[in-house]
Amino acid sequence: MPHIVIEYAAPLREQLDVNTLVHAAHQGAIATGLFNPKAVKSRAYACEDFVLGESDASTGSFIHIRVSIMPGRTDEQKQQLTQSIGQGLSAFVGAVGCVSIEVAELHQPSYFKQEH
């Protein structure tokens, strides 16, 4: 844990290296020291269809990162996490209309994980 899921406007594939984006977010989470580095899982998905405000998909762009974690972190630790990931994304901010990051706590009683 955590799971880092990055959604981004598909046209950004032409402007930025998505692999570098994923690694930057991943390293940002690890840099906090809040998690076992081997437990951090990161991935990205392109959003083909989207609307931003009153614009169409051809005139806007976004990166949204959701970091899902188990309960128990303080608000300060969650803020440290978003700031650390955000610092790692600073190289992408100029090319993107909007970058947002959220930390969400998983519902531990209903979370299932099986490892082999």
pLDDT of residue 52: 84
At which residue do the structure tokens 């840099």 appear? 31
3-state class (DSSP) for residue 28: helix
Structure tokens at 8: 């981004």
SS3 track for 36-57: CHHHCEEEEEEECCCCECCECC
Which domains does the chain possess?
A: 3-110 (3.30.429.10)
3-state class (DSSP) for residue 24: helix
Length, in residues, of the chain: 116
Half-sphere exposure of 42 (CA within 13 A, CB side): 20
Segment 3-17 mean pLDDT: 93
0.95 exceeded by pTM: no
pLDDT digits (tens, 9 = 90+) for 21-60: 999 999 999 999 999 999 999 999 999 988 888 765 556 7
Pick from 69, 1, 79: nearest CA to 36: 1
Structure tokens at 92: 């992408």
Tell me how far apart the 2 most distant CA atoms of the chain are, in Å: 47
